[in-house]
Each structure stands twice: as structure tokens, then as C-alpha cells.
Structure 1
Amino acid sequence: MSSEWTTPFEQGNGNQTSTWRQCIDFHQRLAQAFPQWLRFEVVGQSDGGVPIHLGVFSTDGVFDPLAVQAAGRTVFFNNNGIHPGEPEGIDACMAMVRDLCTDEARRQALGSTVLIYIPVYNVDGALNRQDTSRVNQAGPEAFGFRGNARHLDLNRDFIKADSANARTFARVFTRWDPDVMVDTHTSNGADYQHVVTLIPTQPDKLGGLLGTHLRERMLPALYADMATRGFPMCPYVNPVREIPDDGIADFLDTPRFSTGYAALHHTIGFMPETHMLKPFAERYHGTRALVESALAYTVAHGAAVRAARAADRAAVSAGAVVPLAWQLDTQRSTPFRFSGFKAVHESSRLGSYQRLRYDRSAPWQADIPYFDRYTATASTTPPRAYVLPQAWHDVAQRLQAHGVRLQRVARAQTVAAEAYRVPHFRKRPLPFEGRHLHDELAVQAEPLQAALAAGDWVVMLGTPHDRFVIETLEPLGMDSFFRWGFFDSVLDKKETFSDYVFEDEAERLLAEEPGLRERFEAWKAEHPAQLSDPQAVLGFIFLNARRYAEPEWRRCPVLRLPELPAQLFQPEA
């Protein structure tokens, strides 16, 4: 190989990773030398104002996503550097693209499949280079930082899209609509012999024909191929108890994560997690093996994957029930041959507790339970459309960033709709990635005659984006916009009372408003200890009296339209 095309990893001692500048310069030089196959361009900017690049490799020089899609070609997406302290994929991608450019046999093997890649996604974190932020990781000698310029973990930001990075990613993803995606990572957690572990899009949550294809065909093929390549792979080590000996469970990749985001677009996603304590060179080679294995499978079976995607999209658009939330099925497991190290508990020299360590001089191999099934705990039958009042422009902007088309209500009108009332919620007490996420949420659907204003947004269903729309606008979606706090202002009651004035009014309300006294007496019987608290007593009456109700309080502003009114988009005559 010409020294012109060797990467910093290949030039060093196996413990170096490229800087952001080295990586981008390398891809730019490749694109200049091989323009017939490779296009490399800026597709957006980060929160820190740093350009984000996209590479497109096409054996016939077709670089337009619309032309690629019109021809029914398969698209494979490789994302790297979302956590720049986990940089194996950055270096592996450089060498893989180089080899495609310089090796005719590799190009021919790619066929009509188009490879797109982001060489470094978290560009801000890549520039924050040091050797101290990954406390449990063996090398490389220097690497980037997990947070971006806004100190956001981008692998928690795909749905809420608070970062400029995520909005750039969404535009790339929805424009190219990849069939398979691999997003490269390094793992934390238990110690074991495997170099490569894998988080796939959870097959039950992916669902439909695509989920079946992933579970029954693609995953077995990848595991077999990785063993042949010298990297016997293991599912991501997510222990059901403290150590993997007791079993591991599939990771539930909700849409805040890359693979869960991919599922909302009926895309198969993989998140390889190489083991942090293995030498960087082993992690590099294991990452490259997994990316190339997934790419080879995609090339060979792209038609079947695309057909399953199309069928699943059609089913959602036809009104199929869409699951919104999931829980692990602890009653079903399959055996997995796991290669571990003996777990030892011994007294800590730092405190009066038992510490865990793994004894690498005592390797073992045995079948452990692998819990790889999830069951739906909430679901919905899609409406014909959703209405988003124009006041919620930040939500509209995010929908548009994710490729969703919004139409405007033509004139003020009243329509039959459904809304969700929120009787119970609990948000996290501490911020999580910049927001107070709602971990607990209960909703009640209620019909209403909704007053729409001219300019309110209508989100029509019956498009390739249906699943994304449903799981973000339905509050019970595990990463819905409601759970991420975009509608939190409706959870605050805007008016209150002065107890010395409201005391007399409360007595009048109990005497005159039907049903209020009965509810009050029942409340008193259930809460005798609160009868000495005037705020509790008067507060119950105030919150339950119809006269002082605030209709928008605790009502999700997103409306469901069971039917489409004929006049929705018709201007006044």
C-alpha cells in the first residue's frame, strides 16, 4: 500500500487514533483522487460551529439520494464518532473507504449498494482531545470527549434534537432513508473474553416483517460470520443481575438512541460495542470486521430488507396498531454460549464493603440465559391525522427537521377531535441531557369539539414517516415529545385562590355544583389526615369545581383527528 493512503492508526503502534483534522483531510484527499466513486461534502454544522461531513461511495458515480431511491438501490449507513472517546469506528471507516477506492474487487463486491458515512458525528467532542475522560478504557493514547459543545450526549438526543448535530443527522437520515445503519461504539461494564458485543435494533420493537428478518436471518448470519472473521461476538452485556453469569437481557433501544431512532424509520440498526479493556488495536479490527460483515449481508440481501421495510410501512399507514412502550419478558430466554471470567467478591481496601473484580486467570465458557424478548405495554390505533397548534413551534420545527411534512389549517373552524388528559405524571428530579424527562405518565383520552385557528399545523398520516410521527406525538411513546418536556407548561395550573376569600365560595360550590359534594366527601374519607390543612381541603374543591376549571390544564395540546373534515384545508369562500 502506498504510504500516501496509510492512516494514522496504521502508521503508529496500534494505539493511536486520528484527530478530527487528520480524518477530514484524509477523506477529502480520497474524494479528490477518486471523484468517480466518492463524494465528500459538508452537510451541516455542530453547536460549536464546526462542519459535519458526509461521504457517499457509489460504484457508478450516482450520488443523488432521489436517483438512488428511484432505482430501488440499497443504502448502507455507517455513523462514527458519536462518542469521540470511543474512536475505533473513525479509524476503521477511513481504512474501509480507502480500500473501496483502491481495490477493484472490493468495489465490485459492493454492487449497486450505496455506502454513506459520517466520519465524525460529534465534531465538537472530537476536538476536545485528551486522555483522561474514559476512566475504565485501555487506550488509545489520546481521544475525544463524550459531550458536544452544549455538553449533550448525542446518543440521547436523536428525538428531542436539542443539538444542531442531531438536526443535521435527521436531515441526512431522512434524505437518504438507509436500509441498514451501523453506529460504532465502545462498551462499559462487566469484564469478559469477547472483543465485540452488539446492540441491534430490538427485534420485537422493530416489529413486522423487518423484525422477523432481523431475528431469524440477519443476526444469525452476523454472529456466524464474525466467528469466521476471528471475533466471536456476544450480545451487549446487559446483566439481569450484577454479573453476566446470571443471564443478560436485550438492551431496549428507545428512540433517543441511534438504533431506536432507526426503528422509527423501519431501518435495521446496529450498535457494536467493543470491550473497553481490550487493546485498542483489537477493538479497531473487531469494529471493522462488524461493519464489513453487516455491509456484506446488506449487499447480498438488500432486496429482502427493502421489501420488508416497504411492507411494514404500508401496514402502519393502513392503520395497524402501533406499540408505544415495552417491557422485558422475563419468562422467556434462550441459551447463549458466553465466554467470561470468574467473578470474585472480596473485601475492599478502601471501605467496609465487598468489591467485585473479574479474575482473568480463570476464564470460563458456558451457556447463560439470554432474555431477548419484549412485550408491548401500551399501544395505539393511529388516527387519520394529528393537529399541532401553531403555538408549539419548537415541536413543529423538530418534526420538519426529521422530514415530516406539515400542512396548515386554512381557516378557523371547529372539528371533532380527541385529546389526552394527564391525570398522573412524574418527572425526573434531576436534569437528564438538558431536560426533566417524564418517567411515569398516565393519560385518558377524551373527545371534544376543538377550535382550530388558521395556521395550525396538520400532520397527515399515510406517509413513510408515520411511525416516527405516531411514537413522538402520542404521549405514551417511550421517547415522545411529551415525555421530553416539550409540553410541560400545560401541567401548571395558571390561577389559584386566596383561602380566606375562597372559603365562602367553596361552601357555595359544594351546595350548588352537582356531584362535587359527593366527590369531596369521598376524598375526606380517604384523606382524614389532610382535613387540618386548609390548602389541601380548599385545593381539592378548587381543582374539582367545574366553574373554575382550566380546559387546557393537564391536556396534551396535540389533537387526534379520527376523520378528516372536508373543509380542513379549504379557505373561506
Structure 2
Amino acid sequence: MTATRSAHANYSHRRKPASVRLRAAVFAGLSAFALSATAADREAGLTAPLPPLLPWKGQSESLIVTRGDWITPAEATNFATTPDYETTRVFAQKLAAASPDIQVQDIGNAASGRAIQLITLSAGGSDPRTNGKPTLLAQAGIHSGEIDGKDASFMLLRDYVTGNAELRALIEKVNLLVIPILNVDGHERAGLYSRMNQRGPNNAGWRTNGNNLNLNRDYTKLDTPELRAVMDIINDYQPELYLDIHVTDGEDYQYDITYGYNGAFASDSPAIAQWLEQHFQGDVDAALSAAGHIPGPLVFGVNSKEFSDGVSHWTASPRFSNGLGDLRHTPTVLIENHSLKPFRQRVLGTYVFIKAALNTLAEKGDALTTAIQSDQKRRPQNQVLAWRASETPDLTVYAEKPFKGIDYEKRPNRISGTEEVVWLGKAKDYLNLPVYRDEIKAIEVQVPKAFYIPRHEDLVISRLKAHGIAISAAELGKTQNHSTPLTQFTVQAHEFAKVPFEGHFRVEGQFTEKPVQVDLNNYVKVSTDQPLGLLATALLDPRGPDSFFQWGFFNQIFQRTEYAEAYALVPLAEKVLAFDAKVKGEFEKRLQDKAFADDPAARLNFFYLRSPYYDQQYLKYPVLMQY
């Protein structure tokens, strides 16, 4: 989905600009019309007209099977539809029954109880965790309407089962894991009207899961059973390469298969980023081009009304798969097939992509393993928790080879009352198209040696464990007098979001910090001297936009649960005024402020704040840092 530069600044990947979001009143009217129409009327009248297409034919069309026992469900409908949940599971079992190299297992359940399937392909059915070969994990349907990866994987696995020599040779060198549908509940909320701006399938599923949560915003907080199942697989199998397969919308352009990863200019895994740039990207682009597809970069227009203003090269935060992969040193590529290209074309391109990725992993996997190990050993002193876009664009990216766009014009529109972009379905190349990279450090922090978390923060601790972050017992009985000093943050100012986002009222804060002496008997320790140390920092430093703090996991610190009664506080205040000249002077100074002087509650609170009865944990961030 598309995003504006302001959306990127807020780390809300692919949010529609306000100018193209329909008002609630429009939806209400449309719903009333839809309910009054027959099914035939709805299909004829309410299917959104999409821009015209460029003609396409490619070598990858030879991959399609049209007859015999091994037609995939999507091929059987000429890619009009994708198989439903039960049909998908049956076809996966058919593949497993046909080859001992294919295993099928359930790796978890959605909230509805539907099981999430994992298909494993390895030579001889050996265990990918122990056979010493690099592993590719291909995940489809995290947004279940974007289901291209499932049907492409089924075609590829079918070809393996039926004896494709190239695939057989590849699987002698690498392992393949496939999650055909991650968002199994959203997958079954399917229909013609799931995705207005996408060409097929006609029964596309819904973006969010059964609890209306977007799984592709859950990679840090791990609220959903679906994402916890994925994290179990990543921790268990340690894949050398992870493909997260989507479909993107927004601007029209010639590219049918776009993809991206965090660039080396803003990466916590620079060796992996260099491998992706120097080895992976060239191989995949060549394979896609040879098959008749047009591979392109994962970019987003900075102005939905004027594409020529430029594109944004996004740096993903860890709430997304490629952002998390960068932090945990799991090479992760976000594939975004273009929604305006036909489902058939997108599926074929995805097949070519997966096969090309397997080939690169087979040929250059040793270099990738070396890069992973190098990044896992990094222990930087500082860490960037958020990036923002450069104000000055790079004009060199498309100085020699143009961006392959689509021509458009702007026309006055009586519906919106303003000019709207109309894509014309004609190729248009853009030389010197401005590129705005997310390469400016917006939030940079010092990486502590360790974090100390109170044992009662069981939700936070359980989520850290789900990520695979090592947690140990604290140095029991030690305090600041006997060990390295600890630092605690206090919230000086904070602001809650006005509306919920992904089931949370997010909160941002400003902090002061000071050294503290704490008995650590009731704490656990998270050392940053571990491969996932940078991920731990992103989750536990409250200044990070994807920290547990900002996701609202510590909102209890914003509430006070003990109070003062005037009959006890007034005599205490009189005693303080009699014996503490400093407090007396501060109080008399405050009385010069008429608003304070006229407010009895404020006057009483002045003394309560300074009394030993005041809640000493109020606004104190409970996670301690050791620098």
C-alpha cells in the first residue's frame, strides 16, 4: 500500500493520504445501496473500475499447467480465484503425500482456532534445522488479500513433485519453508469487495485478522498468535533468507514485482544489506527480466497528486518484517507485487522470484552466512531507533536509467471537488526522478550494557522470550554500591494518541534520567551483549517508536493509586512550614501566582508532592539501564 512522506515520518507504512480516504458518510451511503441491490447488480455496478493495463506476455507463462492431475487450484480457475482455507490445506497434504521430501505441519492457531500450516521441502525429507543447508522461508498471506505467494509456492512445489530438474538440483543445496496462509482468519473473510484497488483474485481475503489487527504491524509487540507462530519458526529454523510476500497499491508504474530491504545507509545489519545489494538483487532482477517481468524498487510517491515530485526510499521500523529482520540480523526481503497488474501475472512473477532466491542462496549462501555472523557480532555504542527522510532529494538514482512510470493527467472531479490523478495506461519514463531516502537520524541513543526488568512485568518478559532474546537472573542482592550504577528514566511529559492503533493507545514521552540504587532481587537482566542486543534496545529503550513503552505496555505508570486527605495533609504541611525554610520559601513564591493561590487543590498538592507519602513509582519507567 502507498504512503506519503509524512506517513513515513510517523512510521505508519502505506497509509493512504487524507485526500484519497473516503468519508464515513460516503461509506454509509454505499453500504445502504449495496444492501438494496441484488448480487448481480452489485457485481455489475459496484466493482471499482481500475486504470487501463499495459499489454503483457512473458516467458513465465510457460510455467502454467492447464490439464492433468497436478493443476493447482488457482490454475484450474485461470487465476480468477485462489483456493479457500480447506482446499489449501488439502492441496498441501496432496503435495506431501506425493513426495517424501515434503512435510506439512501446523505451527500455531489463529484466535478462531484455525491452524497455520508450514510446508517444508528438503532433500530426502531431512530436518532443515540440522542438515547444514541454508534455508529460505517464504511467507504468504500476512495480508490475506495479498495472497500471490501461496499460489506461486503451490505451482513451484507441484513442479518439484512432478520432477522439475532445476528445482531438484536446487533442493539438494538448500531448504525451502513455505507458510501458504499466515492470516488464516482474514483469508476466510473473502469476497469480491475485499480489495478495491487490486486486480484479482475475485475472492481476495481481508487485510486484518479475526481480531481486526494488522499482522504486518505486530513484529515487535507480538500481540497476535499468528506472529508469535512466525517468530517460533524463525527462532527454531534460523532461516538464512526470509521473503515476506505482499501486494502493494498506490501509484501506477510499469514494474510488476517490486521489493525492498533496509539499505546499507541505514541498516543495523550492514553486511547483510551489502550482500542483498551486491548479490541477491542482481540475480533476482536478471531472473525476473529474463522471464518477461519488470522488477523494480520498493518506493512510494511523496505526493499522491503529482508523481513527478519524487519517491520515498523507505527505511522500515521493526514493526514490519524487513525492519525487524534488519535488527535481528535475519536477511528479510519485503516483496510488494503491484496491485494493478493481473493476479496471474503477479503469481508468475512471484514463482520466478522464489526460484531465483533459492538459486542465489544455493550459489552464494556461504557469503550470506558470513555476513550474518559478522552482523551478529556487532556491538555498536550507539543505535538509531528512528530515521526520517532527507529534505534534499538524490537526483542521481535515475540519472542514467529512468524510473519506469505510467503517464497520468489531473482532471477536475465532481465527486471529490478537486483535481484527481487519472492513470492513462501508457508507459512513461522519468529521468532524474527525485529520491528522498529515510537516512537522517531522528532518534539516536546510547546502547546500554544491560536492561533490568522487574519480574512482575511478565507480559514484557514473555514477549522478549518470544523474540528469542536471552534473559538471565539479575545479580541477586547487589545494589549500586556493589555493582555498576543503574539509570532510571522519569516521564516529564507525555501524550497519548487520540485513537487506538492496532489495539493500543500509543504514548510518547519526554524523559529525565538519574542514577538509582536498587536491590535487584526482583529483577531479570537482559544483556545487550548478545546477537539480539540491538532488538532488545529497540524494544526496551522508551524513546524508540516501536518500544514496548510507546506501544502502551507500561501505561500503569501513568496512574496514581494512593491519595492524601486534607485532614491529614494540612497538619503535615504546617509542620513542614515550621521546620523547612526551603519549602516555605518555595511555597510563598508560588503564592505570588494568583491561579495557584486561588486553587486549594493545587496548594495541597504542593505539599503532597514533597511528602514521603507521595507515590515514588509514579511516572517512573520501571526498566533500569546499566551504561
Same fold flag (TM > 0.5): yes
How far apart in 1 are the matches of 2:392 and 2:574? 54
> Pick from 443, 459, 471: which aligns with 2:526?
459
- Between 377-386 and 20-29, the greater mean CA deviation after superposition: 377-386
Query: Which residue of 1 is the match for residue 119 of structure 2?
Result: 55
2:160 partner letter: L
**Structure 1 CA distance for aligned equivalents of residues 588 and 275 of structure 2:** 57
Given that 2:590 and 2:597 are in contact with CA atoms closer than 8 Å, whether structure 1 keeps it comes out as no
1:165 equivalent to 2:226? Answer yes
1 CA distance for matches of 2:362 and 2:583?
67
Question: Partner of 2:526: helix, strand, or coil?
Answer: strand
Equivalent residues, number? 551
1:412: how far off?
4.9
Partners in 2 of 1:253 and 1:468 — Cα distance? Answer: 14
- 3-state DSSP of counterpart to 2:160: helix
Match of 1:245 among 277, 285, 308: 308
Residue of structure 1 in register with 2:103 after alignment = 39
Residue 89 to residue 412, structure 1, CA distance change in 2 (3 Å): same
Q: Give per-residue Cα distances to partners, 1:410-448, cap 9 Å, x unaligned.
A: 85553442222222222211010100123x332333211
The equivalent of 1:356 in structure 2 is 421
Do 2:148 and 2:350's aligned partners in 1 also have CA atoms closer than 8 Å?
Answer: yes
Identity among equivalent positions (%) equals 27
Q: Which amino acid aligns with 2:486?
A: A
Aligned-pair CA distance for 1:351? 4.6
TM-aligned CA distance change 1:496 to 1:178, over 3 Å? same
What residue in structure 1 maps to residue 295 of structure 2? 233
Give the one of 473, 489, 500 matched to 1:431.
500
For 1:512 and 1:235, how far apart are their aligned partners in 2?
71
SS class of match (1:4): coil
SS across alignment from 2:553: coil
Matched, 1:24 2:101: no
Question: 1:501 deviation in Å?
Answer: 7.9
Give the match's secondary structure for 1:29: helix
1:394 aligns with 2:459: yes
Q: Post-superposition shift, 1:48? A: 1.1
TM-score where L is the length of structure 2: 0.80
Which secondary structure state, in structure 2, belongs to the residue aligned with residue 131 of structure 1?
coil
Is it true that 1:212 corresponds to 2:237 in the alignment? no
Distance 1:216 1:103, change over 3 A: closer
Q: Give matches, 1:464-479, under 5 Å.
A: 464-479=531-546
Q: Tell me how far apart the structure 1 counterparts of residues 107 and 207 of structure 2 sit (CA, whole Å).
A: 21
Q: Secondary structure at the match of 2:328?
A: coil
SS of residue in 1 equivalent to 2:464: helix
- Match of 1:371? 436
- For residue 420 of structure 1, what is the aligned residue in structure 2? 489
Matched residue, 1:97: 157
1:499 touches 1:534 (CA, 8 Å); kept in 2?
no
CA deviation vs aligned residue, 1:212-263 (integer Å, no higher than 9, x gap): 3334443344344433332222223412223331111122321111111212
1:162-201 equivalent positions in 2, closer than 5 A: 162-201=223-262
Question: Residues 487-541 of structure 1, C-alpha deviation per residue, up to 9 Å, x if partnerless?
Answer: 111122334456798678668767866766787799899xx79547627844873
Aligned to 1:268: 331
SS at match of 1:470: helix
Distance change (3 Å), C-alpha of 1:521 and 1:24: farther
Note closer, same or farther for the CA distance 1:532–1:4 as it changes in structure 2 (3 Å cut).
Answer: farther
SS in 1 for 2:274: helix
Deviates more, 1:38-47 or 1:347-356: 347-356
Q: In the alignment, is the contact (CA less than 8 A) between 2:150 and 2:180 conserved in 1?
A: yes
**Do the aligned partners of residues 62 and 537 (structure 1) sit closer, same or farther apart at CA in structure 2, a change above 3 Å counting?**
same
Map of 2:40 onto structure 1: none
Report the residue type matching 1:182 in the other structure. L
Alignment of structure 1 residues 172-571 onto 2, 5 Å: 172-203=233-264, 204-242=266-304, 243-316=306-379, 320-333=381-394, 334-336=396-398, 337-361=402-426, 363-409=428-474, 411-415=476-480, 416-438=485-507, 440-454=508-522, 456-497=523-564, 530-531=595-596, 534=599, 537-538=602-603, 541=606, 545=610, 547=612, 549-562=614-627
* TM-aligned CA deviation for residue 486 of structure 1: 0.6
More divergent stretch after superposition (26-35 vs 457-466) = 457-466
Q: Residue 14 of structure 2 aligns with which residue?
A: none
| Distance (whole Å) between structure 2 residues aligned to residue 412 and residue 62 of structure 1 | 48
* Deviation of 1:95 (Å): 1.0
Tell me which moved more, 47-56 or 228-237: 228-237
CA gap of 1:199–1:542, structure 2 versus 1, over 3 A, is farther
Judge conservation of contact 2:257–2:346 (CA < 8 Å) in 1.
yes
Q: Does 44-53 or 491-500 show the bigger shift?
A: 491-500
Taking a change above 3 Å as real, the CA distance of residues 133 and 501 of structure 1, as seen in their structure-2 partners, is farther
Indicate the larger mover: 339-348 or 6-15.
339-348
- 1:473, 1:558 within 8 Å by CA — same for their partners in 2? yes
Q: Does 1:15 align with 2:53?
A: no
Match of residue 570 from structure 1: none
CA distance in 2 between partners of 1:232 and 1:372 (Å): 22
Map of 2:42 onto structure 1 = none
Distance in 1 (alpha carbons) for counterparts of 2:454 and 2:146 = 41
Q: 2: distance between equivalents of 1:423 and 1:368?
A: 43
Check 1:64–1:328 CA distance in 2 against 1; reply closer, same or farther (3 A cut). Answer: same
Mapped to 2, the partners of 1:11 and 1:164 lie a distance apart of: 32
Q: Which moved more, 1:413-422 or 1:529-538?
A: 529-538
Residue identity matched to 2:262: T
C-alpha contact (below 8 Å) 1:520/1:540 kept by paired residues: no
Contact residue 272 and residue 290 of structure 1 kept, 8 A? no
The residue type equivalent to 1:59 in the other structure is: A
Q: Report the Cα offset of residue 7 of structure 1.
A: 0.5
Contact 1:41–1:54 (Cα < 8 Å) also in 2: yes
In the alignment, is the contact (CA less than 8 A) between 1:226 and 1:289 conserved in 2?
yes
Deviation at 1:314, TM superposition (A): 0.8
Deviation for aligned residue 1:153: 0.9
Cα 1:457–1:140 change in 2 (3 A) is: same
Matched residue of 2:617: which SS?
coil
Report the Cα distance in structure 2 between the residues aligned to 1:555 and 1:226, rounded to whole angstroms: 53
CA drift of 1:353 comes to: 2.6
Shift of 1:9: 1.5
Distance in 2, Cα, partners of 1:45 & 1:193:
38
Structure 1: stretches of 5+ with no match in the other structure: 563-573
Cα deviation digits, residues 337-364 of structure 1 (max 9, x gap): 2222333332222253333322335744
Q: CA deviation at 1:482?
A: 1.0
**Structure 1 residue identity aligned to 2:378:** A
1:190 to 1:514, Cα distance in 2 relative to 1, 3 A:
farther
Deviations 1:60-79 (A, max 9, x none): 432151x14xx3x3221100
Q: Tell me if the contact between 2:313 and 2:437 (Cα under 8 Å) persists in the aligned partners.
A: yes
CA separation in 2, counterparts of 1:539 and 1:79?
59
Matched, 1:122 2:183: yes
